[in-house]
Amino acid sequence: MRSPMSTLQHKPLNHLHQHLPFHTPKFHSRPITTAPPPPPLPPPTDPSSFASLILNSTNPHALTQTLHSPTLQWTPQLVDQIIKRLWNHALKALHFFNILSRHPTYTHSLSSFDHAVDLAARLRDYKTVWTLVHRMKSLRLGPAPKTFAIIAERYVSAGKADRAVKIFLSMHEHGCRQSLNSFNTILDLLCKEKKVEKAYNLFKVFRGKFKADVVTYNVIANGWCLIKRTNKALEILKEMVERGIDPNLTTYNIILKGYFRAGQIEEAWRFFLEMKKRKCEIDVVTYTTVVHGFGVVGEINRARNVFDEMVKEGVLPSVVTYNALIQVLCKKDNVENAILVFEEMVRKGYVPNSITYNLVIRGLCHAGEMERAIGYMNRMKDDECEPNVQTYNVVIRYFCDAGEIEKGLELFEKMSSGDCLPNLDTYNILISAMFVRKKPDDLLVAGKLLIEMVDRGFMPRRFTFNRVLNGLLLTGNQGFAKEILRLQSRCGRLTRQFKL
């Protein structure tokens, strides 16, 4: 699992699955996913059929033959769509990428390479990451600045911020020019991962060399706001003025949001009034920030007043503005009022997006209205947004909380077989649910889920392992517990090996 690309060049990735008991259901009474039928021929043409074909394939040679079939016309768009569908099954996705890498005539695009790099980096398989980068270079496709942003982001989120900085500082040696943009990007990545001190130090060292601009300063100010240090953000504001860089509306919106985030509600309100007084041409982002900011602290009336004011001032709300209002109504007011706003936005011709739907669905679930929540879930298709993994996670969670674990599992099986693969959260939600009924069979399912999640490239927390292990031992499943223990030590070896 560590190095799918480098070690399995001539071997099927699938052999990794063979020593897992996933396809041999001896430890559980009911299978979590149904056994797939043999892949149909001729080959499919749409992304979701390809995805199922790849997911269900147990014979890598046959799969390669199918995907190399001369009747197939591969395009970068199709390849990217298939990778996206396999995103939550990283090994399968990389396997697919790998098969097409050996295609006699087709050559991967830059964006497919970037996706593959992202997947390998998520698996913390850095060896594969750099193999891919070198392959991109020899094909003269890249690496592009975006490639480095992806790599740096994964290093930062794996707790290797210093390594990310090093990579940025040496990216020109990998054939990718440094620029002010890439400088701003690395600073932003560090800030978004809350490594603001580190970002600020890097900023101080290199702001001269890269000629820091208003974006650079905004990134740093936003970083301080993200960790609720509004005063530091104000210092940045002062500093940029001193250095002759004019703050723009984005700067002020960042500070405004920073006040709300830090719970400085009245400071936020005064700042907002000041922005209006100074004629700063406040925009839909400003208003959305204030509506949301008031709402999350329960000031629903003030939130609604600002919403009405923006319409009066001729600033059109966006779907995001509606989402902000709907969210706070669900949380601090009443789902029914949120639904009124939802129906109102639809009447006005706005098209709700998946976030809008997920907010309403969550609100309904929270109010115990599971049936109505499912109704909105089915309605998503009408607005060209299928239920996504977040949608499923919300509904599964609430079914389980309500003790309807079978219904949660049913939805899970639907996603596993369909075109919305479960992610880390899905597995965590379901595994936790397997402990509420105190049924021994549930623990077998929990163990199977644990194996499946590792199989799909997700790393369970130590807590999850221990919980499942204890449960299995207490219910007399020593054999299965042993197997889980072996799995854990395999995972442990992997993480330790990767701590450089």
Partner DNA sequence: CTAGGGTTAG
Q: Which is nearer to DNA, 99 or 374 (CB)?
A: 374
Q: How far is the CB of 331 from DNA (least distance, A)?
A: 7
206 and 223 Cβ atoms separated by less than 8 Å: no
Q: Which is nearer to DNA, 28 or 122 (CB)?
A: 122
Residue of 36, 55, 57 lying closest to 47 (CA atoms) = 55
Q: How far is the CB of 483 from DNA (least distance, A)?
A: 28
DSSP letter (8 states) at residue 439: -
Q: Which is nearer to DNA, 90 or 285 (CB)?
A: 285
Q: How far is the CB of 337 from DNA (least distance, A)?
A: 16
Q: How far is the CB of 442 from DNA (least distance, A)?
A: 19
- Tell me how far CA of residue 36 lies from CA of 33, 144, 178, 182, 236, in angstroms: 8, 39, 48, 45, 58
Q: How far is the CB of 493 from DNA (least distance, A)?
A: 27
Q: How far is the CB of 471 from DNA (least distance, A)?
A: 18
Q: How far is the CB of 125 from DNA (least distance, A)?
A: 17
Q: Which is nearer to DNA, 320 or 473 (CB)?
A: 320
Alpha helices in 297-404 (DSSP H): 300-312, 319-332, 335-347, 354-366, 370-379, 389-401
State the DSSP H helix or E strand holding residue 416, giving kind and residue range, or none if neither.
Answer: helix 405-417
Q: How far is the CB of 248 from DNA (least distance, A)?
A: 5
176 and 204 Cβ atoms separated by less than 8 Å: no
Q: How far is the CB of 491 from DNA (least distance, A)?
A: 21
Q: How far is the CB of 448 from DNA (least distance, A)?
A: 22
- Burial class of 144 by CB neighbour count within 10 A (0 to 12, 13 to 18, 19+): middle
Q: How far is the CB of 445 from DNA (least distance, A)?
A: 21
d(CA 421, CA 456): 10
Q: Which is nearer to DNA, 37 or 244 (CB)?
A: 244
CA atoms within 13 A on the CB side of 349: 2
Q: Which is nearer to DNA, 46 or 336 (CB)?
A: 336
CB neighbours of residue 440 within 10 Å = 13
56 and 36 Cβ atoms separated by less than 8 Å: yes
Helix (H, G, I), strand (E, B) or coil at 235: helix
442 and 450 Cβ atoms separated by less than 8 Å: no
| The length of the chain, given as a count of residues | 500
Q: Which is nearer to DNA, 146 or 372 (CB)?
A: 146
Residue of 100, 11, 92 lying closest to 55 (CA atoms) = 92
Q: How far is the CB of 353 from DNA (least distance, A)?
A: 4
Residue of 381, 375, 382, 348 lying closest to 360 (CA atoms) = 375
Q: Which is nearer to DNA, 146 or 276 (CB)?
A: 146
d(CA 26, CA 413): 19
Amino acid at 60: P
Q: Which is nearer to DNA, 288 or 477 (CB)?
A: 288
Backbone φ and ψ for 175, nearest 5 degrees, come out as 85, 30
Q: Which residues bind DNA (CB under 7 A)?
A: 145-146, 149-150, 153, 181-182, 184-185, 188-189, 213-215, 218-219, 222, 248-251, 253-254, 257, 283-286, 288-289, 292, 317-321, 323-324, 327, 353-356, 358-359, 362, 388, 390, 394, 425
Q: Which is nearer to DNA, 97 or 357 (CB)?
A: 357
Long-range contacts (CB closer than 8 Å, 24 or more residues apart) made by 48-51: 48/85, 48/419, 50/78, 50/82, 50/85, 51/82, 51/85, 51/86, 51/419
d(CA 363, CA 368): 9
State the DSSP H helix or E strand holding residue 114, giving kind and residue range, or none if neither.
Answer: helix 110-122
Q: Which is nearer to DNA, 68 or 331 (CB)?
A: 331
Q: Which is nearer to DNA, 50 or 392 (CB)?
A: 392
